[in-house]
Structure 1
Amino acid sequence: MTERHETDAPTAGGFEGFFARAAKAAGLTSQAELALLVGVHRSAVTQAKKKDAVPKAWILAVSRRAGVDADWLEFGRPDRRARATSGAGETDGGLFAGVPKVRARLSAGGGSFETAGEVEAVYPFRRDWLRRKGNPASMVLMDVVGNSMEPEIRHGDTVLIDQGQTGVMAHAVYAVGVEDTVLVKRVEKRPGALVLLSDNRDYAPLVLSGDELDALRVIGRVLWVGREL
Structure 2
Amino acid sequence: MDYLAIRKRLDELIAVRGEDYASLSRLIGRNPTYVQQFVKRGVPRRLSEDDRRKLATHFGISERLLGGPEERGGHGHSVVHRSDAAARTTDYVLIPTLDIGASAGSGAVADGENPIATLAFQSNWVRGIASGRPEALSVIRVEGDSMLPTLADGDQILVDTDDRERLRDGIYVLRTDDALLVKRLSVNPATRRLSIRSDNDAYPSWDDCDPATVAVIGRVVWVGRRLT
On the 8 A contact 1:163/1:221 being kept in 2, the answer is yes
Cα shift readout 1:27-85 (whole Å, capped 9, x = no counterpart): 97x9xxxxxxxxxxxxxxxxxxxxxxxxxxxxxxxxxxxxxxxxxxxx96431146844
Of 167, 171, 174 in structure 2, the residue corresponding to residue 173 of structure 1 is: 171
On the 8 A contact 1:185/1:198 being kept in 2, the answer is yes
Question: C-alpha displacement at 1:216, in angstroms?
Answer: 2.5
Aligned to 2:205: 205
On the 8 A contact 1:174/1:187 being kept in 2, the answer is yes
Aligned to 2:107: 111
Matched, 1:24 2:14: yes
Of 159, 162, 166 in structure 2, the residue corresponding to residue 161 of structure 1 is: 159
Q: Counterparts of 1:31-110 in structure 2 under 5 Å?
A: 77-81=57-61, 84-85=64-65, 94-110=90-106
Q: Percent identity?
A: 26
In structure 1, distance between residues paired with 2:208 and 2:112:
25
Cα shift readout 1:169-218 (whole Å, capped 9, x = no counterpart): 432111111222111111122437422111111112124645xx555211
On the 8 A contact 2:142/2:157 being kept in 1, the answer is yes
Total equivalences in the alignment: 159
Structure 1: runs of 5 or more not aligned: 1-20, 31-74
Question: How does the TM-score come out when normalised to structure 2?
Answer: 0.60
Structure with higher Rg: it is 2
Amino acid at match of 2:202: D
Per the alignment, do residues 168 and 208 of structure 1 end up closer, same or farther by CA in structure 2, a change over 3 Å counting? farther
Aligned to 2:194: 194
On the 8 A contact 1:27/1:136 being kept in 2, the answer is no
After superposition, the CA RMSD in angstroms is 3.2
Question: How does the TM-score come out when normalised to structure 1?
Answer: 0.60
Of 198, 218, 221 in structure 2, the residue corresponding to residue 220 of structure 1 is: 218
Amino acid at match of 2:218: G
In structure 1, distance between residues paired with 2:64 and 2:172:
41
In structure 2, distance between residues paired with 1:125 and 1:148:
28
On the 8 A contact 2:12/2:90 being kept in 1, the answer is no
In structure 1, distance between residues paired with 2:63 and 2:195:
49
Per the alignment, do residues 196 and 23 of structure 1 end up closer, same or farther by CA in structure 2, a change over 3 Å counting? farther
Question: C-alpha displacement at 1:165, in angstroms?
Answer: 0.3
In structure 2, distance between residues paired with 1:146 and 1:122:
23
Per the alignment, do residues 185 and 27 of structure 1 end up closer, same or farther by CA in structure 2, a change over 3 Å counting? farther
Question: C-alpha displacement at 1:92, in angstroms?
Answer: 9.4
Aligned to 1:131: 127
On the 8 A contact 1:179/1:216 being kept in 2, the answer is no
In structure 2, distance between residues paired with 1:23 and 1:207:
46
